[in-house]
Amino acid sequence: MLPVAVGILIGVTIWMICDGRTERTERLSGLSPSPARPSSRIGIVAVLSSITSFVRNGGTVVEAFEELAERTYPSPTITVDRAMEIFDAKRSDDETEERAWRVAVNVTMACQVSELLGCETARCLSAVSAAYRRECLMEASRSQALAMPESTMKLLAALPVVTVMLGEIMGASPLTFLFGSLYGWLCLLGGLTCYGIGLLWIDALTKPLRDDAEVQRDGRA
């Protein structure tokens, strides 16, 4: 009985050791980026919140960026290139490189203003984060406003072609009428004229929104 008890005790000990190693490995793998858990693409808003929280808890902006970059900078300053490296690497899939660049410039300017004027760094970063949130909200609202006219334009553009195809399938021969008689040519010319006027009208309705978006984008660049 004694050898059996010793064997069971050794087996339980080995199992506990292996299970503990597996659990620690799973915890460490959960912290690492993977295809199932792309933690590196957390988004610009999350990066700004993380840096602001780090500064509020007593850290510095340089230390926050070094932690995100997982390396130490040779000089204790934040430059646009260093900030861009972080924001470009952490931006989500729906955030463009241009957005990351603008936020990097704003964060760098906020740090410089904080150093020159003695303002609280966390408040400067909070202002940058709030401005970026407003920008995202405005672009989302603009996209929603343009979605309906654009879908209507696509529907109207495809409707005449679909109507002609359905007519051919049903045996009405609309192509023969349109291209085989004078009245058909007149109807075709009138239809194309109204078709072009409708597209120009929808484009004129959506043009102010597009121009406003381009002006704001150029002003922020």
Tell whether 194 is covered by a domain.
yes
Say whether pLDDT at 216 is over 70. no
Q: What is the CA radius of gyration of the chain?
A: 31
**Residue where a domain stops, chosen among 136, 164, 189:** 136
The domain in which residue 119 lies consists of: 44-136
For residue 101, name the pLDDT band (cuts at 50, 70, 90): very high
Rounded distance, CA 61 to CA 76, Å? Answer: 9
Residues 131 and 203 in one domain: no
User: In a 10 Å sphere around its CB, with 0-12 CB exposed, 13-18 middle and 19+ buried, how is residue 85 labelled?
Assistant: middle
Domain count, the chain: 2
Say whether pLDDT at 14 is over 60. no
Q: pLDDT tens digit string along 149-206?
A: 777 777 777 888 888 888 888 888 888 888 888 888 888 898 888 888 887 887 787 7
Tell whether 71 is covered by a domain.
yes
Residues 52 and 125 in one domain: yes
For residue 25, name the pLDDT band (cuts at 50, 70, 90): very low
Residues 132 and 78 in one domain: yes
Maximum C-alpha span of the chain: 109
Tell whether 59 is covered by a domain.
yes
Task: List phi, psi (to 5°) of 164.
Answer: -65, -40
Tell whether 65 is covered by a domain.
yes
DSSP state of 39: T
**Residue where a domain stops, chosen among 70, 105, 136:** 136
Which range, of 21-30, 57-66, 87-96, 114-123, averages the lowest pLDDT?
21-30
Residues 127 and 53 in one domain: yes
**Residue where a domain stops, chosen among 102, 136, 170:** 136
Tell whether 207 is covered by a domain.
yes
Tell whether 113 is covered by a domain.
yes
For residue 30, name the pLDDT band (cuts at 50, 70, 90): very low
Q: What is the dihedral of CA 85, 90, 92, 94, to 10 degrees?
A: -10
Tell whether 123 is covered by a domain.
yes
Residues 127 and 188 in one domain: no
Residues 122 and 69 in one domain: yes
Residues 187 and 116 in one domain: no
**pLDDT at 6 (0 to 100):** 40
Rounded distance, CA 41 to CA 98, Å? Answer: 16
